[in-house]
Amino acid sequence: MARPRVRLPSQAKPGEIVEVRTMIDHPMDSGLRKSETGAVIPRKIINRFECLYLGEPVFVAELQPSVSADPYIVFHLRARGSGKVEFRWTDDDGTVYRDEATLTVV
């Protein structure tokens, strides 16, 4: 099972640009490797990452098989108001892994 992790400041000033760091533990199998018995390990990658802040998308990435295991994504957002920051990683099979944090603007 994939395990998402997120790091961002808990507080920011209005208009401040904050750094957001995300990582998800995921093998990112490309479909090109074989198991010890010689069977092809089917492709299973995180193919989409989304971040929503106050319900609006602020960062979206389409990922490809060449992305390494445990994708690490860093980006910045401007603090506009206090609220929820949602994170979604979508796998090839449609599974969506979620995490969230709260950013307080003071």
How much is the pLDDT for 29?
86
Please name each of the domains of the chain with its CATH number. 3-105 (2.60.40.10)
Residue numbers in the chain where pLDDT is lower than 50: none
Q: What angle do CA 73, 79, 80 make, to 5 degrees?
A: 135
20, 7 contact by CB (below 8 A): yes
Distance in angstroms (rounded) separating the CA atoms of residues 83 and 85: 7
Strands, sheet with 72-78, edge to edge from the N-terminal-most edge strand: 3-7, 17-25, 72-78
Token readout for 72 is 């690490």
pLDDT tens column, 76-90: 999 999 999 999 999
